[in-house]
Amino acid sequence: MKLIIGLGNPGKEFANNRHNLGFICLDRWALGRERNFAKGDVFDYIVLKRAVLIKPKTWMNRSGEAIKQALKQWIISEYMVIYDDIELPVAKIRIRQGGGDGGHNGIKSLLAVIPPEELKRIRIGIGRNNEIDPQNYVLSDILPEEWELLNPALDQAGKFIDLYIKYDFNAVLNEYSIWKKSCSGAESSGIVSPKEEK
C-alpha cells in the first residue's frame, strides 16, 4: 500500500491556516472524488485498493506518531507527503523525493520514522511575509487573494495524487514536467534536485 500524508494541525481554529495546506489538499481531493475520511483516534483516513490517505490528528510536530500507528494497521511500501512551504511563492508546486526537513517541523517528525530517501513530496508554496514572524505567519489564515492562486494549484495537486495512486511516482514527475512548462511563471517552479535543499 502507498501511504499519502497531508500535514496540518487538528481543530477548526486551524482549518484555514497556511500551515494546514496538506489537510486542505486532501480534503479537496476527497470532495472532488466523493470520498469521505473515516474518523480515527490518531488520524482520519481513506482506504483505497492501492493507497491509504491520512490526516494526522497529532500536532504538526508529532506527525510521525501517526505514521507509526499507520504502520501497525497496514503494510506500507512507499510514502508521499503533501505540505506547505514558506520558501516557495504562493501556489507554486515543487515535487521531489528525498532531502531534509527544510525547517518544517512536520517533516522533521516524519523523517524520524520514514527514511529520508523514501519520502516523496508535493510542496505547495505559501510565500513569506518578512514583516510577520514566520511561526505566526504559517498559523494565520489564508487570505482571499491567496485562495485565488491556491485553488488551481490544489486542483492540480489532486491530479498528481490520482496519478500516484493509479501508477507511480515517475508518472507524477512526468506529468509535472509537462505541467510546469505549460504554466505561466514556470521558471519559478521545478523539480528540486537534492543539492538544492539540505
170 marked ligand binding residue: no
With contact defined as beta carbons under 8 Å apart, do 46 and 36 qualify?
Answer: yes
105 marked ligand binding residue: yes
Question: What is d(CA 85, CA 82) in angstroms, rounded to the nearest whole number?
Answer: 10
61 marked ligand binding residue: yes
Which grid coordinates are listed for 18? 497556511
Between 169-182 and 144-166, two packed helices, what is the crossing angle to 10 degrees?
140
Determine which helix (DSSP H) or strand (DSSP E) holds 65, and give its type and residue range: helix 63-73
Question: What is d(CA 64, CA 157) in angstroms, rounded to the nearest whole number?
Answer: 22
Question: What is d(CA 49, CA 38) in angstroms, rounded to the nearest whole number?
Answer: 15
| Active centre residues (catalytic) | 19
Please count the CA atoms within 13 angstroms of the CA of 90 that sit on its side-chain side: 16
Q: What region, left, alpha or beta, does residue 98 occupy, with left being phi > 0 and alpha being psi -120 to 50 degrees?
A: left
Binding site for tRNA, residues? 14, 61, 105
Binding site, residues? 14, 61, 105
